[in-house]
């Protein structure tokens, strides 16, 4: 299965003025324990960038509306 993995850890973020603070890791294959949060995208599904972003928004809405801590 072809996958793309994006990961980020607590304390890192995105700041346009400080490119060095952008600490999003990218990789292929199976999920790892390297980052606090990882998103795996199945490239075999031929998803468009717009579809992926729409589903990320769906995940975000689910987390916002749901009960926290889910475990």
Q: Compute the radius of gyration of the chain from its Cα atoms.
A: 14
- The answer as to whether 71 is a domain residue is no
Cβ neighbours of residue 35 closer than 8 Å, sequence gap 6 or more:
7, 8, 9, 25
- The answer as to whether 53 is a domain residue is yes
Structure confidence at residue 20 (pLDDT): 53
**Torsion over CA: 45, 47, 53, 54 (sign):** negative
- The answer as to whether 18 is a domain residue is yes
pLDDT in tens, the chain (71 residues): 588 888 888 876 666 555 555 577 778 877 666 788 889 999 889 999 999 999 999 999 999 999 888 77
Domain count, the chain: 1
- The answer as to whether 29 is a domain residue is yes
How many other CB atoms are found less than 10 A from the CB of residue 8? 17
CB 31, CB 38: distance < 8 Å: yes
**Domain extent for 15:** 3-65
- The answer as to whether 25 is a domain residue is yes
């Amino acid at each position: 299965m072809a996958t793309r993995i994006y990961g980020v850890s607590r304390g890192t973020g995105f700041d346009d003025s400080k490119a060095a603070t952008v600490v999003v890791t990218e990789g292929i294959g199976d999920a790892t324990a390297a980052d606090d949060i990882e998103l795996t995208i199945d490239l075999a599904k031929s998803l468009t960038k717009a579809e992926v972003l729409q589903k990320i928004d769906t995940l975000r809405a689910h987390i916002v509306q749901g009960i926290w801590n889910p475990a």
